[in-house]
Structure 1
């Protein structure tokens, strides 16, 4: 099930606002101006988007915390792109920022969140990692919208599948699925590339699952629930 047209318009304006402000979250007034909606309409839409798991609002406020691929607060994923510095909400979202901006970028991250730094150059045709890298999706796609911050915190870069296995066992965290960074980037382009348009947030379940399948990510881990919303 896709977002309703008004909510999809607001969601697209949020992404466009992050890009326009160089990483700062757009305010309700800025979203209202961009969408020609009233502030109350924007506030109502933000509440719905938060309830649906499309964005996360800061506790007890109507201010944005995360709006994939962006985070309004610091994360492990710093993305330099188009002359601006962004915080990616997770490893995959960091790739998604470059895809959405349609510009080369540079990602600074921590492998497995455990301190070893890595820098990934992202060209317009894909990432240029200094070593083989994987993006680990610990949480099943069907559960991402249940808690975006949790799902994001568990989507990390790793050097190898063995490293993922060791991390999962050592930390007692879900094993999930890991895919090569090049494959994750192709999904980021398909998923986030049109994220500044309303159409990019109005895909139905079958269309979203086709995005996964189109890049070879058709494992059960990436299957969605019948009424999945984005």
Structure 2
């Protein structure tokens, strides 16, 4: 089983259709038995290229998501679930032919509908903020929970409302410009053969360059 071919096929399918490929379709496309596809997907999940559920179905292939986690991303011809604020802002950079995209969500603090046109040339305007709940050292403890709590809020006051209501402690808050710069290059090359994953804990120079700092990011 060619794991890199499997990985790229999964990512290309997400990029093209907005949906995760089915097991049978992967087996047919790669001309291998389905049990080999399952074994390959499990290996890719172990190396954090994918997230699988208990039945080995693909849940996430960052920045793509097969499940709704609070964001939608509409490109020129394709609609995706956005896995989180980070991944939603990353999609136009990974697939520039679809840019600009419309990123839509709802403020967890007040429930207000929010949307931005996100392109590749400059950050979207707006006073809204992103709040990341889970620090980098624990992001992969439960990656679906982590992504489900990387949200966009109307303001820091809405963040505080949500924290009080949910009982969570404050994580990391950044403005739209910082989020856009953070997301812009993080997944570069992910649709290409030979891509190497980058862990936040290993990317201190990149994080500092885009304006992120402190213990939350392991810096």
**Structure-2-length-normalised TM-score:** 0.84
Mean Cα deviation higher: 138-147 or 167-176 = 167-176
Misfit runs of 4+, over 4 Å: 6-9, 29-41, 204-207
1:217 corresponds to 2:212: yes
Aligned residue number for residue 3 of structure 1: none
1:109 corresponds to 2:105: yes
* Cα displacement string for residues 50-71 of structure 1 (whole angstroms, at most 9, x for unaligned residues): 3444422232x22211222111
Q: How does 1:60-209 map to 2 (within 5 A)?
A: 61-102=55-96, 103-112=99-108, 114-129=110-125, 131-203=126-198, 207-209=202-204
- Counterpart contact for 1:53–1:147, Cα < 8 Å: no
| 2:19 match: secondary structure | coil
**1 CA distance for matches of 2:8 and 2:138?**
22
Question: Does 1 or 2 have the higher relative contact order (CA < 8 Å, sep 6+)?
Answer: 1
Mean Cα deviation higher: 75-84 or 46-55 = 46-55
Report how many residues are paired.
Answer: 216
- Counterpart contact for 2:109–2:161, Cα < 8 Å: no
* Cα displacement string for residues 183-223 of structure 1 (whole angstroms, at most 9, x for unaligned residues): 11112121123221244434467753332122121322112
Relative to structure 1, the CA distance from residue 62 to residue 223 in structure 2 (aligned partners, 3 Å threshold; closer, same or farther) is same
| 1:145 match: secondary structure | coil
- Counterpart contact for 1:137–1:155, Cα < 8 Å: yes
Relative to structure 1, the CA distance from residue 204 to residue 181 in structure 2 (aligned partners, 3 Å threshold; closer, same or farther) is closer
**2 CA distance for matches of 1:218 and 1:152?**
20
| 1:82 match: secondary structure | coil
| 1:126 match: secondary structure | coil
| Alpha-carbon offset, residue 137 of structure 1 | 0.8
Relative to structure 1, the CA distance from residue 172 to residue 14 in structure 2 (aligned partners, 3 Å threshold; closer, same or farther) is same
Q: Structure 1 stretches of 5 or more lacking a match? A: 1-5, 225-230
- Counterpart contact for 2:42–2:56, Cα < 8 Å: yes
| Alpha-carbon offset, residue 32 of structure 1 | 5.6
Mean Cα deviation higher: 118-127 or 33-42 = 33-42
**Structure-1-length-normalised TM-score:** 0.81
| Alpha-carbon offset, residue 149 of structure 1 | 0.9
Coordinate RMSD, CA, aligned = 2.6
